[in-house]
Amino acid sequence: MKQIDDTRLAADTSAQPIAKVAPIIDIANVGLTLTSRAGAVEILRNVTLSVTPGQSLAIVGPSGSGKTSLLMIMAGLERATTGQVNIVGEDFTQLSEDELASARGGDIGIIFQSFHLVPTMTAIENVALPLEFAGRSDAMSLARQLLNEVGLAERAEHFPAELSGGEQQRVALARAVSGSPRLILADEPTGNLDGKTGSQVIELLFGLQRRHGATLVLITHDDALASKCQRIVRMADGRIVADELRKSANQVAAQ
C-alpha cells in the first residue's frame, strides 16, 4: 500500500487560505451634522465600527452621546453627512429612499422604545404587515406563529390600546423578526417598561436573536443589560471612546 506523506499533507492543508467573514456592519469615519437655529451641530464625529455576523453588541453612553443617531444611520433612517456606511452588504450612502426601505424590509428588523405599532390594527395584523408588504401569501399564519413564540397567541386579535406595555413590546419583537432579518436594531427596548417586564422582554429578544441567527445591536443606558451582550461600545460627545469584547456566543447563550 502506498504510504501518505503526512508532512507534505499537513503543509498543503496549512497553505489553504482562511476565508474572512464580511462584516454585517462596516462604518468608517462617519460624521453627522445637523442644522439648528443656533447653527450647525455635530452629532457624530469620525465614528468607525465593524460588526461581524451573529454578534450581540450594546452601544451605551449618556443622553446626547450620539448612540441613537448612530443606530438610525445603521437603519438607513438617517443619512451620514460624511464617511462610509455599509450595512448588510449594501452601501447605504448610495441608495435611494426606496432602496433603503427595501433593505430594511428584507434584512433589518427595528425595535423602538415607543413600540411604533399601528393603533388601528390588531396584534396579528401589526406582525403580518411587513410580511404582506413583502408579498408573503402566508403572512397571517406566520404572524400567528410568531405571536405564539413570544407568548401572545391569545392576544392576537387585540388592538395595541388593549395591551400592556410589555405585551406591545412583544408584538414589536415579533414584527421585527417576522422577515428573518440578518440584523436586529433595538433602541432602548425596555425604556418604557418596569424592571420585571423589561427583563422578560430582554430574554425574549436574545432568544429570538439566537433562534434566527441574527446580529443584534442594542442601545441602552443600562450597564446590566449591556453586559448580556458579547461586546460593549461606549460613546461620548459623538465619538466611540471604548470598545470591549466581553464574551463568546456560547457564554451569552449560557446566561
* pLDDT of the residue at 1: 45
Higher pLDDT, 234 or 180: 234
What pTM was estimated for this model as a whole?
A: 0.85
Instruction: State the chain's mean pLDDT as an integer.
Output: 88
* pLDDT of the residue at 191: 84
Residue 37 confidence class, pLDDT cut points 50, 70, 90: confident
- Three-class DSSP labels, the chain: CCCCCHHHHHHHHHCCCCCCCCCCEEEEEEEEEEEECCEEEEEEEEEEEEECCCCEEEEECCCCCCHHHHHHHHCCCCCCCEEEEEECCEECCCCCHHHHHHHHHHHEEEECCCCCCCCCCCHHHHHHHHHHHCCCCCHHHHHHHHHHHCCCHHHCCCCHHHCCHHHHHHHHHHHHCCCCCCEEEEECCCCCCCHHHHHHHHHHHHHHHHHHCCEEEEEECCHHHHCCCCEEEEEECCEEEEEEECCCHHHHHCC
Q: Is the pLDDT of residue 147 over 90?
A: yes
Q: Is the pLDDT of residue 11 over 70?
A: no
Residues of the chain with pLDDT > 70, as a percent, come to 89
Residue ranges and CATH numbers for the domains of the chain are: 54-76+98-253 (3.40.50.300)
Reported as a single tens digit per residue, the pLDDT across 161-217 is 999 999 999 999 999 998 889 999 999 988 888 888 888 889 999 998 998 899 999
* Most confidently predicted of 7-16, 24-33, 198-207: 24-33
* pLDDT of the residue at 238: 95
Reported as a single tens digit per residue, the pLDDT across 38-82 is 788 899 999 999 999 999 999 999 999 999 999 999 999 999 999
* pLDDT of the residue at 128: 95
